């Protein structure tokens, strides 16, 4: 992807690396990160003791296990921003809670339904909102730090495309699971009889991704600049 000449978003003096004081890469995980990781592992163990539906639990918490398996060994080689680690932790908690109770039975969802005056437990929509919110920040960080794209507009466009692609891929996974296990997939799908559940799931993911960009882009830029050494400018 190319933008305007000289618009490299990773070059010093441009919109990302405007902070001249770059802190060194950490040599070991921060205490807060160790505490958060330990808390997630303990929460996973607790949630697996007596979930409402164990196959559903395994499917719902699988992304958390995969994320931990990727982030732990790469923590020193490719540390993420504190902002991203925080929202990954929040998303993981949302997934674990949904897996423990199943999304249609999460107690907080019933409280929220009463507050909103609706009959459907909306906790699954919270899950899909974060399915867009957190991947938007992940995609944004990878695209910027890898210098794969130039310019804010193209960056935001690609991030939202990735969010929708991830959401659509997850819906395909749900479809495959439903075809494989039949009626037993109802707990995993959490459609609760809503005919437009798939489309609304993708909409909530898109809303989550858009809000992540709108609310946290500048904060994210500062943290990425502190982690990423400035790239030398080559003159032709």
Query: Would you report the helix, strand and coil content of the chain in percent, each value rounded to 5?
Result: 70, 0, 30
Q: Indicate whether 46 pLDDT > 80.
A: yes
Beta bridge partners of 12: 17
131 and 63 in contact (C-beta within 8 Å)?
A: no
Please state, in angstroms and rounded to a whole number, the distance separating the CA atoms of residues 173 and 134: 19
Q: What is the pLDDT of residue 166?
A: 95
Please state, in angstroms and rounded to a whole number, the distance separating the CA atoms of residues 51 and 43: 12
Q: Over the chain, what is the mean pLDDT?
A: 82
Q: What is the pLDDT of residues 112-156, one digit of tens each?
A: 989 998 888 889 999 999 999 999 999 999 999 998 998 899 999
Q: What is the pLDDT of residues 55-106, one digit of tens each?
A: 889 888 999 999 999 998 988 888 999 999 999 999 999 999 999 998 888 9
Q: Looking at residue 192, what DSSP letter applies?
A: T
């Amino acid at each position: 992807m190319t933008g305007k000449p000289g618009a490299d978003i990773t070059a010093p003096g441009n919109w990302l690396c405007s902070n001249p004081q770059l802190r060194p890469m950490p040599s070991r995980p921060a205490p807060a990160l160790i505490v958060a990781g330990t808390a997630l592992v303990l929460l996973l163990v607790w949630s697996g003791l007596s979930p409402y539906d164990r196959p559903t639990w395994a499917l719902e918490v699988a992304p958390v296990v995969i994320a931990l398996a990727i982030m732990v060994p790469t923590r020193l080689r490719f540390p993420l921003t504190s902002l991203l680690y925080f929202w990954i932790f929040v998303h993981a908690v949302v997934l674990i809670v949904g897996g423990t109770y199943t999304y249609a039975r999460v107690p907080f969802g019933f409280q929220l339904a009463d507050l909103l005056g609706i009959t459907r437990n909306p906790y699954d929509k919270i899950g899909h909102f974060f399915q867009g919110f957190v991947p938007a920040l992940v995609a944004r960080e990878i695209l910027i730090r890898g210098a794969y794209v130039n310019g804010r507009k193209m960056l935001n466009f690609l991030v939202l495309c990735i969010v929708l692609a991830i959401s659509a891929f997850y819906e395909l996974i749900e479809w495959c699971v439903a075809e494989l296990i039949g009626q037993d997939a109802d707990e995993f799908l959490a459609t609760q009889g809503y005919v437009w559940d798939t489309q609304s799931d993708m909409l909530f993911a898109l809303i989550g991704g858009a809000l992540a960009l709108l609310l946290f882009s500048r904060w994210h830029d500062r943290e990425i600049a502190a982690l990423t050494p400035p790239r030398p400018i080559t003159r032709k």
